[in-house]
Amino acid sequence: MVLVALAMAGAVVATGALVRWDEKREEDAAFEDLALEQSRLSRAVAAGVQARLEYARRVASLEGDHVPSDGSFFEVRDRAEPSGEGARRATASGPTTLTFEVARGAGRSRDVVVSLPALLDQVSTIERPGEVVLLVHPPGEARLLTVDGREAATTHVDEALETSAASIRLDRAEATALGLPARAAFAGLSRFDAGSFGHWSIAVVASASRERTRESRSRLRLVATSVSAGALVFLLGWLNLRRREKEADFAKELALVELQRRLDERLVRANRVAMMGTFATGVAHEISTPLGVIVGKAEILESKLKDDERGVKATRAILEQADRIRGVVRGFLNLARGGDPVKERLDPADLVRSATNLVQHRFEKAGVSLSAEPGEVRPPIFCDKRLLEHALVNLLLNACQACERGGHVTVEIGQAQDRVEIVVKDDGTGIAEEDAARAIEPFFTTKSADQGTGLGLAITNEIVKAHRGALRIEPNEPIGTKVTISVPSVVERSEK
């Protein structure tokens, strides 16, 4: 979540920076335009002033004693002696006037008295209070003058006029000194040579307040846009987060319901197992009576069939199997009462042999091959032969049932540290991971009711546990299933 928030904040900041960069570019372009405009304006003003001075010069150089006096911005006066001083300023009284000496040939000259405000009277219409100021630098003056002849405090512009710059930027202080708003300003600069009237300079200074205002508005817009975009992004992020939280809550609830359902299922199954345990104990108990009768009658038969070899063999088989049933049932009843199995020292190969013998006919019938590889080094184990044999039979029957006709089942005996492992492998259907995890649960079966009860592995697991062993069910490579019974070997047991 923190990463997502950071990414969103980053996106907002990046967008803001991009917009700001664009605004800055626009603003620079606007300033550039403003400077260019002032430069053009100053050139136009300069051309106007130069034309008027040229007119005055021509009038002053006319032949004859009576010179037509324009009366609008200059006055011509005859001089007795040419002074050769050029331009002079006289501010003694009234509006600012400038006196220039214009040669008329033959060593004679006339004075032309120019009124600065009158000279600039037409061009000064470009001035706008608080926006545009016109400044003029007539020859012989130390500083720039305003149109009404006051000295303007613009050191920066004075200096720039010494160079060939067409425009310059003025800071707030200089703009304020010229009576402009406290914003940046731009001055367009022009210079011209008016011959007898000397070198003149013109500066048109315009405030960038409009651009500045526009800029601050756009900055405000930018801030507002960024803030609202940020708010929107975070709102969407928050809504998304809420939705995810709700989904997570819902998933948690579902998981809880599922857990509850599984617990309920287990409880029901545990009850059933407990009930079935009691029931099985009862059945085992009930079996012992008819089994006793079967054994008794078989013994009578055996003594009567002394001379009939086949008859004796058959009765012996009945007695053997009855004995086996009795052994298994006793073993179960013992385990059900919580007792330890009655153990004997045994070669695991004997166990494998007797178990495979017991199921041989089932494999033949199913067309599945069964081979046992007892291995070379086999430490003995301590076990209840009947019970462990029964456990192995369950594994072999499962393997056989999982195989198609033509399938293969092998039993291997191996050793892992101080344990003996009896491994049953088949190349049958294989087992899904979740089925393997549940296979030892009582009544878990994937078979139809007439094929299986789901008790085989549950009983096998109990028997193996009673021998301090473990049962492992896993997929066999490349196909089929591998089930391992691992029990302590005698060496380990005797050492303990």
Ligand X SMILES: Nc1ncnc2c1ncn2[C@@H]1O[C@H](COP(=O)(O)OP(=O)(O)OP(=O)(O)O)[C@@H](O)[C@H]1O
Residues in touch with ligand X (CB under 6 A): 394, 398-399, 402, 426, 428-429, 431, 435, 439, 444-447, 452-458, 481
Angle (nearest 5°) at CA 185 between 181 and 190: 130
Q: Work out whether 481 is an interface residue with Mg ion (CB under 5 A).
A: no
Closest among 354, 352, 376 to 487, alpha carbons compared: 352
Give me the least distance between CB of 401 and Mg ion, in Å please.
Answer: 7
As measured in angstroms, the least distance from the Cβ of 397 to Mg ion is 6
Contact of 211 with 34, CB cutoff 8 Å: yes
Q: How many CB atoms lie within 10 A of CB 82?
A: 14
Closer to ligand X at the Cβ: 102 or 457?
457
Residue 82 site contact among ligand X, Mg ion, none (CB < 5 to 8 Å, cut-off depends on kind): none
Nearer CB in complex with Mg ion: 13/432: 432
Closer to ligand X by CB, 341 or 454: give it: 454
Specify the residue for token string 């950071």.
6
- State the binding partner of 446 from ligand X, Mg ion, none, CB within 5 to 8 A by kind: ligand X
Least distance to ligand X, CB of residue 432, Å: 9
Closer residue to Mg ion, CB minimum distance, 481 or 489: 481
- Closest CB to ligand X among residues 117, 452: 452
Q: Cα angle at 92 between 87 and 97, to 5 degrees?
A: 40
73 touches 48 (CB < 8 A) = no
Question: Which option in Mg ion, ligand X, none does residue 399 bind, with CB closer than 5 to 8 A by kind?
Answer: ligand X
Euclidean distance between CA atoms 198 and 200, whole angstroms: 6
Residues 100, 87 contacting (CB under 8 angstroms) = yes
Please, what is the minimum distance in Å from the beta carbon of residue 236 to Mg ion?
57
d(CA 221, CA 325) in angstroms, rounded, equals 94
76 binds, among Mg ion, ligand X, none (CB under 5 to 8 A by kind): none
Residue 232 tokens, joined: 């929107």
Q: Are strands 419-426 and 481-488 parallel, antiparallel or unpaired?
A: antiparallel
Per DSSP, the three-state class of 479 is coil
CB nearer to Mg ion: pick between 286 and 404: 404
Q: Is 456 in the site for Mg ion (CB under 5 A)?
A: yes
What is the distance in angstroms between the CA of the first residue and the CA of the last residue of the chain? Answer: 56
Which residues, 6+ apart, have CB-to-CB distance to 241 below 8 Å? 1, 4
428 lies in the binding site for Mg ion (CB under 5 A): no
Smaller CB separation from ligand X, 120 or 424 = 424
Backbone CA torsion sign across 359, 363, 368, 372? positive
Alpha-carbon distance of 363 to 132, in angstroms, equals: 113
101 binds, among Mg ion, ligand X, none (CB under 5 to 8 A by kind): none
CB of 459 to ligand X, least distance (A): 8
Residue with Cβ nearer ligand X (315 or 394): 394
CA distance 328 to 331: 5
**Closest distance of CB 483 from ligand X, Å:** 6
Binding segment (CB under 5 A) for Mg ion, from list 107-115, 159-167, 296-304, 397-405:
397-405
DSSP 419-439: EEEEEEEE-SS---HHHHHHT
Q: 426 is in the binding site of which of Mg ion, ligand X, none (Cβ under 5 to 8 A by kind)?
A: ligand X
CB of 480 to ligand X, least distance (A): 7
User: For residues 46 and 458, which CB has a smaller minimum distance to ligand X in the complex?
Assistant: 458
Those residues whose C-beta lies under 8 Å from the C-beta of residue 368, and which sit 6 or more positions away, are: 400, 403, 405, 406, 407, 408, 409
Residue 298 touches which of Mg ion, ligand X, none (CB < 5 to 8 A by kind)? none
Closest CB to ligand X among residues 25, 465 = 465
Cβ atoms of residues 425 and 476 within 8 Å: yes
Name the minimum Å distance from CB 454 to ligand X: 4
- Nearest approach in angstroms of CB 300 to ligand X is 35
The answer to whether residue 398 forms part of the interface with Mg ion (CB under 5 A) is yes
Q: How far is the CB of 277 from ligand X (least distance, A)?
A: 15
Number of residues forming the site for Mg ion (CB under 5 A): 2
Q: Which residues bind Mg ion (CB under 5 A)?
A: 398, 456
